[in-house]
Amino acid sequence: MTAAGAALDRVGPKQGWLAHRHIGLHTALIVLMIIWAIPTLGLFINSFRPATDAFGTGWWSALFPPYNFTFENYEHVLGQSNIGTNFLNSLFISIPATVIPIFVAAFAAYAFSWMEFPGRNILFVVVVGLLVVPLQATLIPVLSMFASWGIAGTFLAVWLAHTAYGLPFAIYLLRNFMGSLPREVFESAAIDGASSVTSFFRLALPMSVPAIAALAIFQFLFVWNDLLVALIYISIVNPDNLPLTVSIAGLMTSQGAGTEFLGAAAFISMALPLIVFFGLQRFFVRGIVGGAVKG
Amino acid sequence: MARRFRWFMPLVVVTLVVAACGTSTTTDDKTVTVIGTWTDAEQDAFLAMVKPWETDTGNTVKYQGTRSINDILAAGVPTGVLPDLAGLPGPGQMAEYAAAGALQPLDDVLDVATYTDETSPALVELGKSEGKTYGVFIKAALKGLIYYNTAAHDYAASPPATWDELISQGATNQGDAEALWCVGISSGDASGWPATDWIENILLRQSGPEVYNDWWAGNVEWTDPKIKAAFDLYVDVIDNSYGGGTNTVATKFELAGDPLFSSPPGCEFFQQANFMSGLGKFADLAAGTDFNAFPFPAINPDYAKAVEGAGDLFGMFHATDAAKSLMKYLVTAEAQDIWVAAGGALSANKNATSYPDDFSKNAGAAVANAEQFVFDASDLMPSAMNAAFWSHMVSLTNGDETVDEALEALQEVAIDAYAAE
């Protein structure tokens, strides 16, 4: 028996076992995915049905004749007078409120991972500890602070609020990622005379792209779907700056009618985050660290 | 290149911050910010109502409609970040905000003599706290209308005057109808409120306005035999309803009346407020022709004149000249005429009469001229009590609780809820 044959013998059964295991895993994943997607599918189908049908019968009954689909719900949602402005406002709120916290968190995460300074661990624990502060508890003090600064109702107020709300988690996630980057990379850079700033921009930042992409999605979705923060910090002073979620919430009347439009509204509001997700998806799989250190 | 890139992101941030500051609009004395619960069609109607005022005075109204008005005011009152005018959650919160000094008294703003003369006394009273007027009702609703399909039987000539007559007439005219009543109490996170309206309407006609007012004020225990009698009658209604309790809980209130018009009809009667005429199938049909409604009949003949209503309370937080002028304008018959003409809304003002049809006109007259007018009790209860009332009505209706269990649980909630007030 040659060495190669022995190697095949060793690999063969293992591969078969792996493949077998993958079939089970894939089946489980597919089943879970279908279960997970069914409510969304139901919502999607219902968003094309007239209110009486949608509330009277299950969404699956729409799949059988007589077919009764309509674009009325979408027309109603898109026909709201201020929906265009609110969509732009949503973008104008979400993009800076995603970029700013990630940028600040990246600096902080680098410092927490690779810079030595007194009290580093305690400071990090305090920052992570802020994760437990419920957002609602901060509304009143923060609003009165914004009021005294004269920025209540401005975009700046929501950017700052979302930055602050997003930072503890962003720092925690990025610190863990940057902390796991190979120490040798930074040591060699230091030997070559790179400053901390250079190491951050030339090494830490590009190598953390997968984590930053994941974080960007979390933060963008959080801000995009936010209703409460915008309502409290903006609506009282300047309703012109309100985001899309407020138009959607407004589809329901004070008596609780109008829920038939919410499905359509959900899909309109979902469209952009989906684009963002698929746009950033390739960054997840790109492993930059691989090959950075030659053994 | 790397060096330049280094400064690029902070520059972007700074630019954006400057841009954000630039977009901040300072509210001048020509603008009135208003927050209300009206959205969609109701928002359009409100904006149509303030349009003539804007044209006359050259001021502008910045209106925001949201159902989260409670959250906004809860954050706004302690911080002082408040709109000029706003809808108020209820008389309880109104008194609280007035005591906190956030709400401005309206006695010098309104033409009090005219306002008092034109408005239903019960509503004027509800807008007062410590003897001063802080809230006005610029929109009203009439509760406890019993809708029917005129094609099945027209009750307009001799509407049932008592509950017993209603039951016997219902039995006579049943025809193909599957059940006597249609009931639907699903309404998102406020599910159960249509059932609380049922209890309120029954209690009001069974035991009268005094017991009713003592009850929401927390002076009558939930386990009292009078309250239990109202709950028992409600359970009787559900037993005779289309699809029974399970269906009632699952049916959206705005679509619950639709089986009146199906063939064969699902039910004969459907109890709801006046605004129902703009919802579900009712919206596509002609009020007064295709369907009509009669007032909730007396159960005890002594209380035949009592009427239950609700309304949107409105208050002023900043006494600017423009805000005062708008507030004064909103309660006038001239403004209210525009509001009611759009349909779906009733006015608390007797002199607003340009209703789109006789159906709304009669409902409006019933509110404005009621001899005994009571306000929606669940809206007046402490919010914890109100929420418990809603949710226990759901569990009672679908059979998870018996009347006694529900009442005992509600009484337990009441002890804490009223103590916290």
B220: how many CB neighbours lie within 10 A of its CB?
19
CA nearest neighbour of A173 among A220, A208, A200, A123: A208
* Residue B369 confidence (pLDDT): 78
Q: What is the pLDDT of residues B213-235, one digit of tens each?
A: 999 999 999 999 999 999 999 99
Q: Which two tokens stand for residue A83?
A: 């929906």
Which residues of chain A does B281 touch, with a Cβ-Cβ cutoff of 8 Å?
52
Q: Decide if pLDDT at A227 tops 70.
A: yes
Q: Is B66 close to A236, i.e. CB distance below 8 A?
A: no
Closest residue in A to B251 (Cα) is A55
Closest Cα in chain A to B62: A239
Q: Where does residue A271 rank: exposed (0-12), middle (13-18), buried (19+ CB within 10 A)?
A: exposed
**pLDDT in the model for residue B224:** 94
Per-residue pLDDT, B116: 87
Task: Give the model's pLDDT for residue A293.
Answer: 52
Set of chain B residues whose Cβ sits within 8 Å of the Cβ of A259: 188, 252
Confidence band, pLDDT 50/70/90 cuts, at residue B372: confident
The answer to whether residue B1 scores a pLDDT higher than 50 is: no
Tokens linked to B283: 């919206």
Closest CA to A94 of A283, A235, A227: A227
Amino acid at B361: K
In angstroms, the Cα distances linking B216 to A251, B196, B222, B389 are 31, 12, 10, 11
| Yes or no, beta carbons of A254 and B42 under 8 Å apart | yes
Cα-based distances in Å from A119 to A107, A110, A183, A257, B372? 17, 15, 21, 55, 71
Per the CB < 8 Å rule, is A249 touching B275? no
Range with lowest mean pLDDT among A8-12, B15-19, B47-51, B142-146: A8-12
pTM as predicted: 0.79
Q: What percent of chain B has pLDDT over 90?
A: 40
B23 contacts on A by Cβ (under 8 Å):
154-155, 241
Residue type, A174: L
Whether the per-residue pLDDT at B321 is higher than 80: the answer is yes
| Minimum-distance CB partner of B20 among A52, A139, A156 | A156
- Chain A positions touching B257 (Cβ under 8 A) are none
Task: Please answer yes or no on whether B39 and A251 come within 8 Å at the CB atom.
Answer: yes
Collapsed DSSP state (helix, strand, coil) of residue B125: helix
Residues A140-162, mean pLDDT to the nearest whole number: 91
B374 CB contacts (<8 Å, ≥6 apart)?
B122, B200, B204, B209, B212, B213, B306, B307, B308, B309
pLDDT reported for residue A213: 86
Give the three-state DSSP class for B129. strand
Q: What is the mean pLDDT of residues B50-55?
A: 93
Candidates B35, B96, B77; CA nearest to A144 is: B77
Pair A77, A52: CB distance under 8 Å = no
In this complex, which of B9, B23, B39 lies closest to A253 when CB atoms are compared?
B39
What residues are paired with B272 via a beta bridge? B145
Separation between Cα atoms, residue B158 and residue A157, nearest integer Å: 62
- Please indicate whether, in this complex, the C-beta atoms of B255 and A52 are within 8 angstroms of each other: yes
CA-based diameter of chain B, in Å? 90
> A252 or B77: whose pLDDT is higher?
B77
Q: Is the per-residue pLDDT at B351 higher than 50?
A: yes
Cβ-Cβ contacts under 8 Å, A56 against chain B: 255
- What mean pLDDT is predicted for residues A264-268? 88
The region of weakest confidence among B293-297, B351-355, B386-390 is: B351-355
CA distance to partner chain A, nearest, from residue B70 (Å): 11
Read off the pLDDT of residues B148-189 as tens digits, 9 standing for 90 and up: 999 888 888 888 989 999 999 998 888 888 999 999 998 877
For B24, which residue in chain A has the nearest alpha carbon?
A154
8 Å CB contact of A238 and B25:
yes
Distance CA B231, CA B402 (A): 10
ipTM (interface predicted TM): 0.74
Per-residue pLDDT, averaged over B41-64, amounts to 90
Q: Is B130 left (phi over 0), alpha (psi -120 to 50) or beta?
A: left
State how far the alpha carbon of B142 is from the alpha carbons of B178, B363, B364, in Å. Answer: 28, 6, 8
B314-319 average pLDDT score: 92
Work out the average pLDDT over A109-126: 92
The whole-angstrom separation of Cα A260 and Cα B283 is: 15
Q: E strands of chain A, at which residues?
A: none
Chain A hits for B72, Cβ within 8 Å: 231-232, 235-236
Distance CA A288, CA A202 (A): 13
> How many residue contacts between A and B have a Cβ separation below 8 Å?
141
* Contacts by residues A273-278 (CB-CB < 8 Å, ≥ 24 positions apart): A273/A220, A273/A221, A273/A224, A273/A225, A276/A216, A276/A217, A276/A220, A277/A217
The answer on pLDDT for A40 being more than 80 is yes
Q: Which chain B residues have a beta carbon less than 8 Å from that of A139?
A: 75
For residue B20, give how far its alpha carbon lies from the nearest alpha carbon of chain A (Å).
Answer: 5
**In this model, does residue A12 exceed pLDDT 50?**
no
Q: Rounded mean pLDDT of B324-353?
A: 87
Mean predicted confidence (pLDDT) in B335-359: 85
What pLDDT was estimated at residue A7? 45
How many CB atoms sit inside 10 A of residue A129's CB?
10
Residues contacting A74, CB < 8 A, separation 6+: A47, A48, A264, A268
User: pLDDT tens-digit profile of B106-129?
Assistant: 998 888 888 888 888 888 888 888
In terms of Cα–Cα distance, which of B275, B202, B63, B65 is closest to A238? B63
The most distant pair of C-alpha atoms in chain A lies apart, rounded to whole Å, by 84
- Joined together, the tokens standing for residue A53 give 């049908």
List of chain A residues whose C-beta atoms are within 8 Å of the C-beta of residue B78:
140, 144
By Cβ distance, the residue of A156, A239, A258 closest to B21 is A156
What value does the mean pLDDT of chain B take? 87
Query: Which SS3 state, helix, strand or coil, does residue A259 take?
Result: coil
d(CA A70, CA A47): 9
More confident residue, A280 or A147: A147
CB contact under 8 A, A159 and B17: yes
Interchain contact, B67 vs A252, CB within 8 Å? yes
β partners of residue B136: B314
Lowest mean pLDDT among A203-212, A258-267, B23-32: B23-32
Under 8 Å between Cβ of B47 and B61: yes
Of A151, A251, A255, the CB nearest to B24: A151
Measure A79 CA to nearest chain B CA, in Å.
Answer: 10
Q: Using CA atoms, how far apart are residues A103 and A217, in angstroms rounded to an integer? A: 14
Q: Which of B314, B139, B171, B334 is nearest to B240 (CA)?
A: B171
From CA B390, how far away is CA B36, in angstroms rounded? 23
Measure CB to CB from residue A103 to each of B9, B24, B76 and give the nearest one. Answer: B9
**Mean pLDDT score, A62-76:** 82
Q: Please give the pLDDT value at position A256.
A: 65
* Preferred mutation among B3, B38, B138, B252 to probe A, highest tally of A CBs within 10 A: B252
| List of chain B residues whose C-beta atoms are within 8 Å of the C-beta of residue A146 | 81
B86: which 2 tokens?
Answer: 């706003």
A54 or A116: which carries more pLDDT confidence? A116
More confident residue, B345 or B196: B196
Q: Is A236 close to B190, i.e. CB distance below 8 A?
A: no
Examine the pLDDT at B236 and tell me if it is beyond 90: yes
Smallest CA–CA distance, residue A254 to chain B, in Å, is 6
User: What is the β-pairing status of strands B132-133 and B128-129?
Assistant: antiparallel
pLDDT(B263) > 90 = no
Predicted pLDDT at A252: 78
Q: What is the pLDDT of residue A125?
A: 93
Q: What is the mean pLDDT of residues A194-221?
A: 88
